[in-house]
Structure 1
Amino acid sequence: MEKKRKRSIKAILERRQRKAFDHKDEVMIGKIVGVHGIRGEVKVKSESDVFERQIKVLDTVPIYRGTKREELQLESMRHHKGLYIIKFKGLDDRTEAEERIGGEIWIDKNKQIELGEGEFYFLDLIGCEVFTEDGRKVGVLKGILEQPASHILEVEKEDGKEVLIPFINQFVKEVDVKNKKIVVSLIEGMEE
């Protein structure tokens, strides 16, 4: 009888970190984070300021999960509590929908819609350095939280602490995606 070779935890973790797909010519616009109801609807967290407009122009929506890629057709979509509830054709029950949790929606960069003034793809903003109007570095943008009132910039300071800045004109004065720089105006107590 052949002895099964045991893999070390390190080898398993390294294998999980390897990406099955190269997304260098793509941009992620959303992620399936849950299911809604029993009819096959999924909850999608937007990763784009223009998610709704973007997904509506696609013939099929590419979804990546681990080593799998599938193309699904959009049947319906609505906004609900900061997420999008999406029904894809062919996903007709909760079990099928649950299998898609964790799936990422990536599109070819050449299929991105034209952005208007003040619109951004979140992925392009992540990693931007954040400065005050007088040139003092606040930190680096590590994430964007979607809230009903406005998006919130999660900025990581040099000491590892986090500063939350509402993504509204009162606080965000300039966004320069090309130079990976965001200029903000902070009020007293915001950095504490």
Structure 2
Amino acid sequence: MEWFNVGRIVNTHGVRGEVRILSTTDFEEQRFVVGNKLAAFKKNDKKPTWVTIESVRRHKNFILLTFEGMHNINLVEPFKEGMLKVTQDQMDEDLLEENEYFYHDIIGCSVVSEEGETIGEIKDILETGANDVWVVKGTKGKEHYIPYIEDVVKDINIDEKVITIHVMEGLL
């Protein structure tokens, strides 16, 4: 089964079973809602514990969650430094608008120029506020930062895992 990260459990919060989550999803409003089921993976554990969200609130840069039946710090402490994940079945393609993609669809794609020259492979995505920036590990080991804007990204082929870009002056 393939798992997709939606949040990192960075710590507990208080003594009543709240956990502090650092979101790793673009769809917080859909993932972190009361009644939603998530797979909680303890640190270094391969088998999930399925949890149902009982309460959600924001606190500073974090999302605070409680899970049904876990109202004590001792019950959630083992999940500290773990991950919250969803399955492929829980991924909703309807959430995406035109020219939007899930991170897992983009990371791992090869990047080529319009002339067919291989530039590298996308290793990470940085959110800048204005637009995402793709971190590309170049064929010679150098990292390149490619802005996800119309002037640069010309074609995205998810099926073949190939992205074609226009190499503007100074981009590489």
Q: What's the TM-score, normalizing by structure 2?
A: 0.74
Return the match for 2:86 from 107, 119, 141. Answer: 107
Q: Which residue of 1 aligns with 2:139?
A: 158
**Larger deviation, residues 117-126 vs 135-144:** 117-126
Structure 1 72/129 Cα, relative in aligned 2: closer, same or farther at 3 Å? Answer: same
Query: 1:28 touches 1:104 (CA, 8 Å); kept in 2?
Result: no
The 1-side partners of 2:59 and 2:168 are apart by 32
Q: Which residue of 1 aligns with 2:56?
A: 76
The 2-side partners of 1:28 and 1:73 are apart by 17
Query: 1:41 touches 1:91 (CA, 8 Å); kept in 2?
Result: no
One-letter amino acid of the structure 2 residue matched with residue 107 of structure 1: V
Structure with the higher strand share, 1 or 2: 2
After superposition, the CA RMSD in angstroms is 3.0
Deviation at 1:154, TM superposition (A): 0.8
The 1-side partners of 2:60 and 2:166 are apart by 31
The 1-side partners of 2:71 and 2:167 are apart by 46
Equivalent pairs counted in the alignment come to 163
Deviation at 1:112, TM superposition (A): 1.5
Structure 1 137/98 Cα, relative in aligned 2: closer, same or farther at 3 Å? Answer: farther
The 1-side partners of 2:59 and 2:166 are apart by 30
Q: Which residue of 2 aligns with 1:4?
A: none
Instruction: Indicate the structure (1 or 2) with the bigger Cα radius of gyration.
Output: 1
Query: Taking every aligned residue pair, what percent have the same amino acid on both sides?
Result: 24
Q: What does 1:127-142 align with in structure 2 at a 5 Å threshold?
A: 127-142=108-123
Deviation at 1:60, TM superposition (A): 1.3
Q: What's the TM-score, normalizing by structure 1?
A: 0.68
